[in-house]
Structure 1
Amino acid sequence: MRLRISLRSVAKSLSTTTHHSNGVVSSSPVQDLTSFLQDAFPGTVVLTGAGVSTDSSIPDYRGKHGTYTLNPDYKPVFYQAFVSSDEARHRYWARSFLGFPLAMRAEPNPTHYAISALQSSPSSPSSPATCAPLPEAVSGSVPGSGSVISDTKPFVKTLITQNVDGLHQKAGSKDVIELHGTLHKVKCLSCGHEEDRTQFQHTLAALNPEWNALVENQSSASLYSRMNADGDVELKSPEQQDQDRKSHAPVSAASLDYRTFQYPPCACCGTGVYKPNVVFFGENIPPETKERAAEAIMGSNGLLVCGTSLATYSAFRLVKQARDVGVPVAIVNIGPCRGDSLATLRCDSSSSELMAAVVDRLGMGPVEGQIKRNPRRLNVVGS
């Protein structure tokens, strides 16, 4: 399903929504978030989560249609299991093989393009948004702040994302810190050799022709319905698969036994195991990534949080750090958020609609991108 945004109607609907921040009620989120960016100019850092990519048909974990919401029995592959268990690796790569093509076909939505526009100079021709002349409040002094906004500096310099899908970069964002890594690379756990994930997909396809044939014949809608935020697809447990075989159920990608899925050793050292270059559950964030994110917060004048419940401590810690050093925090998220009590501005809104309206209000829109949502089923348990 594709939706086109009418900025006029979005701004009108958002302006009547009530938003809470530390007990303070705001009835004008577009205006208030615009003012937040102007007051923090030019030093806002943006922190995004899975909720930003749901409008690109990549699901989240904890939202209304998230994996944990629809399937409370969902079991992710933990880091220790991946590195120590051959079966866990068979399971992971089978799921990843099915989901990776879907993740690669995903396109940036208005939130991705809005953030990219904010990372470009307001008058820069390279901005993905179609630029209009700057309003007086943007090109001159910020009302009530005493600061002057230049049209040669961007509103946002650094983007920190928990997402691994690469959609921010696809929309044109620069200076991106990928807190939890990227799906686009695999890395050998023994020698550190890296390989492009797309090339690795071709290797997996050659090793698993039966799986590849089913993927090519199965509809994208069927696979999308079982897709997770990290680009893998849920599979039935071996017990469920045995039951399917006994009942002569039709063969599908969901019912193949992941224990039969083959994965290659490292092409460089010949013995090492490839792992996706993402931070697994139970795995530590690389120290250099953690340090870069902390430095970005320390050098900021404002932190804008979009599309995350901040359930992971790696993200929540950055919000707490910002408040500890007096950096104001704006949170845009549908539903409760772990950092609500730390927010100076809280908007319970769709980031696509709100961010598009804010960029338009700043004279830098309209932004590109469409909202695309696919239904999810996730009736597969124990995978």
Structure 2
Amino acid sequence: MKMNVGLTLRAAKGCWRLNLSQQCAHGSIGLFVPPSPPVDPEKVKELQRFVSLSKRLLVMTGAGVSTESGIPDYRSEKVGLYARTDRRPIQHRDFVQRAPVRQRYWARNFVGWPRFSSHQPNPAHWALSSWERLGKLYWLVTQNVDALHTKAGSQRLTELHGCMHRVLCLACGEQTPRGVLQERFEALNPTWRAEAHGLAPDGDVFLTEEQVQSFRVPSCARCGGPLKPDVVFFGDTVSPDKVDFVHRRVKEADSLLVVGSSLQVYSGYRFILTAREKKLPIAILNIGPTRSDHLACLKLDSRCGELLPLIDPQ
């Protein structure tokens, strides 16, 4: 599938404006969702029974729950970032050790942020939020960094890999909202402009090296240290405290439902292993195979936003 998404950022009368191609603005909802068979009524009944029997249901979500909101993932066949481009996500060590890498990252993120931050929850996010309100969902663990579960109202939530809507100082640990940093970027780069093509799962866009060389990156307002999104980059690890916390939630649960994740990354897969050790029933809703299909008592290949609203959590 060929994707042609154009973004242009420019200053006009003191205001920054992001122009998106019509294709991106109106056609991205299904652009990143891989094809799937029609919903099987019998499978719906099986998932309904799985949920109905659960009293302390733990749900773990991945990028596949957000593709219907217009956010691409990495691994989906034909439509994921790996399938569409030869681009690869930034590595933690490169970001921490090299100032030019941070400059390139923040320039691209600055251009992509207005689009990324505007994404809204889809029916899957709203369904899981309602399950929590009704007392069915015991805990929600997401591998996503897009804040869409929070926007949908989920509160019993662990963001395993952090959230792009927060920024962290690598020196002093000061945490600030990402929107505040956007304003500092604008103040430091009043005449900088760039045109980018393509969107990545973490709000990144694609720019040339020439475009980013003049981009100025602010330091921490408190100590002058380098700034980083409050997320776990590839090559980094989830904090032991957070891992232990999620392990406890899994051990307290009586069943586990995976939604929109291939479970290829060990940071999420490890909790499936814990569920197996506790002999918890495992169900998986994901388009395409996952690393844990052989451990699941139920596997469904459907759109998350199409299937989850069909389930009655009461």
Query: Is the structural similarity TM-score above 0.5?
Result: yes
Q: Which runs of 5+ in 1 are unaligned?
A: 5-11, 17-27, 122-153, 242-255, 364-383
> What secondary structure sits across from 1:69 in the alignment?
helix
Say if 1:310 and 1:81 are closer, same or farther in 2 by CA, change over 3 A.
same
Distance 1:111 1:15, change over 3 A: same
Instruction: Give the alignment's TM-score, normalised by structure 2.
Output: 0.85
Deviation at 1:184, TM superposition (A): 1.1
Partner of 2:39: 14
1:187 aligned partner, one-letter code: L
Q: Choose the corresponding residue for 1:32, options 35, 43, 46.
A: 46
Q: What are the within-5 Å matches in structure 2 for residues 298-317 of structure 1?
A: 298-317=251-270
User: Could you tell me which residue of structure 1 aligns to residue 167 of structure 2?
Assistant: 186
| 8 Å Cα contact 1:95-1:234 kept in structure 2 | yes
Quick one: which amino acid aligns to residue 114 of structure 1? A
User: Which of 168, 188, 191 is 2:149 aligned to?
Assistant: 168
Helix, strand or coil: the match of 1:160? strand
Give the SS at the match of 2:233. coil
Task: State the partner residue of 1:87.
Answer: 100
1:276-324: CA deviation from partner (whole Å, max 9, x where unpaired): 1000111110112111111111100111100111111001111111011
RMSD: 1.9
Query: How much has 1:209 moved relative to structure 2?
Result: 2.2
| Mapped partners of 2:235, 2:159: distance in 1 | 17
Spell out the pairing of 1:228-377 with structure 2 (5 A cutoff).
228-236=200-208, 238=209, 256=211, 258-270=212-224, 272-359=225-312, 362=313
**The one of 24, 42, 54 aligned to 2:67:** 54
Provide the residue aligned with 1:132 in structure 2: none
Question: 2:126 and 2:143 mapped to 1: Cα distance?
Answer: 17
Q: Distance in 1 between matches of 2:299 and 2:109?
A: 35
1:33-60 deviations in whole A, cap 9, x for unaligned? 111011112x000000011101111111
Specify which of 117, 123, 129 is matched with residue 104 of structure 1.
117
Contact 1:90 1:260 in 2 (8 A): no
SS in 2 for 1:334: coil
What corresponds to 1:210 in structure 2? 191
Residue 282 and residue 3 in structure 1: after superposition, are their counterparts in 2 closer, same or farther (change >3 A)?
Answer: closer
State the 1:15 CA deviation: 2.3
Q: In structure 2, which of residues 99, 106, 128 is the aligned counterpart of residue 115 of structure 1?
A: 128
Deviation for aligned residue 1:210: 3.2
Report the secondary structure of 1:55's partner residue.
helix
C-alpha distance in structure 2 between counterparts of 1:358 and 1:30, whole Å: 7
Residue 304 of structure 1 aligns to a residue in which SS?
strand
Q: Distance in 2 between matches of 1:52 and 1:302?
A: 19
> In the TM superposition, what is the alpha-carbon distance from 1:353 to its structure 2 partner?
0.5
Confirm or deny: 8 A CA contact 2:38 2:302 kept in the other structure: no
The answer (yes or no) to whether the contact 1:52–1:111 under 8 Å persists in 2 is: yes
Q: Deviations over 1:165-209 (max 9, x none)?
A: 100010111111000001111111111111111010110111122
Residue identity over aligned pairs, in percent, reads 41
Return 5+ residue gaps in structure 2 as ranges: 1-25, 30-36
Give the Cα separation in 2 of the matches to 1:85 and 1:3.
34
Distance change >3 Å, CA 181–CA 3, structure 1 → 2: closer
Q: Larger relative contact order (C-alpha < 8 A, sep ≥ 6)?
A: 1
Instruction: Provide TM-score, normalisation by structure 1.
Output: 0.70
Deviation at 1:2, TM superposition (A): 7.0
Output the CA distance in 1 between the equivalents of 2:46 and 2:58: 17
How far did 1:30 drift?
A: 1.1
Flag as ranges the 4+ runs of structure 1 deviating above 2 A. Answer: 1-4
